[in-house]
Amino acid sequence: MHFDGLLATPLYVTPRQLSVVVPAGLAGAREVNVIVERDFDWRSVPVRMVVWPARPGLFTSDSSGRGLAAALNEDGTVNSAANPAAKGSIVVLWGTGGGVENLPQKVFIDGIDCEVLYSGAKDGLWQINARIPDFAVKGEIVWRAGERESAEGVILALK
Amino acid sequence: MSLPSLSLRYVQGDPAPAPLRVSVTSLTQVVTVQSEVDWLRVLLATLAANGDVQIVADPSRLAPGIRRGTVRIGPVGVEVAVTVLAAAPLLVAVEPARVAIGTDDTEIMVRGSGFTNRTMVQLQTVPWGLTPVRFVDSTTLRFTLPKTYFSAEFNHSITVQNPDSAVSKPVSLAVGRPAPAIASRGVVSAASYAGDVISPGEILTIFGENF
């Protein structure tokens, strides 16, 4: 993968889909040409993309980007309707797009600013440990990285 | 004394060929050794006993073609034939250098220098004759490769040659899977599938074809 002059090796490749971590070297860029290259010099037509410092997104349990979050309850079990988390307990959330410039990371559940006990990334994958507010009701999660927020429609199953 | 006839191949501009060595046996008397042409030279004037005679050829000033000269070792003449070839035309590239499998008839542009209207294109060392080779100028030739040449993954080797010249170095025309293509709105967050924007350090999923 080419991001202007920066190369990145895909995490996996299938004939119609691949996954790649955007190079950290793009920090500060406003736009970039994204190119897929195969067999050393057989390249796709570039796709011009806008670059933001962060574009947080939470992984979901069915990989659709919406619905139940891919999350662990405080006891390490997978959060689900059959295994909801207790209010006041800690959940582990997974996401990507939190940026590379030490941006402030916040989590809101039902609009309530949560206590974030840990946030960090490795190879593009973010882990965020947050405490569920006592007054949460629906369990709607929003992750904010710097000035950008994750899309609505991701929820935690709550008791 | 048994003497072979000798042959050499020389491309203009190349270094002179290595000396030729002729073994002389059954010699019963001293013989003189001399060349009858100025582009052949022997390294000793007489031979008193059995041994080797070294013949040095310098065909650098000869015109292309087959030239013959004789070296006399006593009463016997050794014929040296040298095939002089003009320097090969320079082949730099073919365009396109890659063609997707299943592509229709395609015009190939051959780029280089030293081409003439008699320059021959070769595919896999075989002179191309299925379609005309058009001489554009001394740097460009064009010819059409029929679609049957693009039916499977293959590297075609293309060379060029002028009359009386050496064969150029080959360039490759690769037939393979089509180039990758990113789908419209196909660059998205691996987590949220939101598109249009990317951020440093983010995991992306990219959809398309021929990855």
pLDDT value for A123: 94
Do residue A65 and residue B194 have CB atoms under 8 angstroms apart?
yes
In B, which residues are within 8 Å of A25 by CB distance? 200
Residue A22 is nearest to which of B181, B201, B208, comparing CB atoms?
B201
Q: What pLDDT digit, counting tens, does each position of A81-94 carry?
A: 999 999 999 999 99
CB proximity under 8 Å: A 120-159 to B: 121, 124-125, 148, 150-151
Do residue A36 and residue B182 have CB atoms under 8 angstroms apart?
yes
Is B85 strand, coil or helix? Answer: strand
Could you say which of A50, A69, A85 is where a domain stops? A50
Q: What pLDDT digit, counting tens, does each position of B170-185 carry?
A: 999 999 988 899 999 9
Instruction: Say yes or no: A81 and A118 in one domain.
Output: yes
In B, which residues are within 8 Å of A50 by CB distance? 196-198
* Mutation for B interface: A1, A3, A14, A20, most B CBs within 10 A: A20
Instruction: Say yes or no: A61 and A132 in one domain.
Output: yes
* Domain coordinates in residue numbering, chain B: 6-84, 90-176, 180-211
What tokens appear for A156 in the block? 């935690």
What tokens appear for B62 in the block? 């000869």
Instruction: Say yes or no: A88 and A129 in one domain.
Output: yes
Cα of A5 to nearest chain B Cα, Å = 14
- For residue A117, the domain's CATH number is 2.60.40
How large a percentage of chain A has pLDDT more than 90? 96
Q: Are A79 and A72 in contact (CB under 8 A)?
A: yes
Instruction: Say yes or no: A24 and A78 in one domain.
Output: no
Mean pLDDT, all residues of chain A: 96
In A, which residues are within 8 Å of B95 by CB distance? none
Q: Which residue of B has its CA nearest to A94?
A: B191
Cα of B106 to nearest chain A Cα, Å = 18
Max CA separation in chain B (angstroms) = 99
Cα of A9 to nearest chain B Cα, Å = 12
The closest of A69, A88, A77 to A142, measured between CA atoms, is A69
- Domain of A124, in residue numbers: 57-155
Instruction: Say yes or no: A94 and A128 in one domain.
Output: yes
pLDDT value for A18: 98
Instruction: Say yes or no: A11 and A45 in one domain.
Output: yes
Residue A121 is nearest to which of B179, B193, B201, comparing CB atoms?
B201
Residue A97 is nearest to which of B180, B202, B205, comparing CB atoms?
B202
Instruction: Say yes or no: A25 and A87 in one domain.
Output: no
Task: Give the span between the Cα atoms of A149 and A147, in whole angstroms.
Answer: 7
Topology given in CATH for the domain delimited by B6-84: Immunoglobulin-like (2.60.40)
pLDDT value for B200: 97
Look at domain B90-176 and name its CATH class.
mainly beta
Write the DSSP symbol of residue B166: P
Going by their DSSP bridges, the two strands A6-7 and A2-3 should be labelled as: antiparallel
Q: Which residue of B has its CA nearest to A21?
A: B203
Q: Looking at the 3D structure of chain A, how many domains does it have?
A: 2
Instruction: Say yes or no: A39 and A100 in one domain.
Output: no
Instruction: Say yes or no: A96 and A135 in one domain.
Output: yes
Q: Are B211 and A18 in contact (CB under 8 A)?
A: yes
Do residue A50 and residue B198 have CB atoms under 8 angstroms apart?
yes
Please check whether the two domains, B6-84 and B90-176, share a CATH topology.
yes
Q: Are B185 and B198 in contact (CB under 8 A)?
A: no
Task: Give the span between the Cα atoms of B73 and B42, in whole angstroms.
Answer: 10
CB proximity under 8 Å: A 55-94 to B: 55, 57-60, 64-65, 94
pLDDT value for B96: 94
Q: What pLDDT digit, counting tens, does each position of A15-51 carry?
A: 999 999 999 999 999 999 999 998 767 899 999 999 9
Instruction: Say yes or no: A46 and A61 in one domain.
Output: no
Q: Are B199 and A22 in contact (CB under 8 A)?
A: yes
Instruction: Say yes or no: A64 and A122 in one domain.
Output: yes
Residues of chain B with pLDDT under 70: 1-4
pLDDT value for B3: 53
Instruction: Say yes or no: A43 and A93 in one domain.
Output: no
Do residue B179 and residue A38 have CB atoms under 8 angstroms apart?
yes
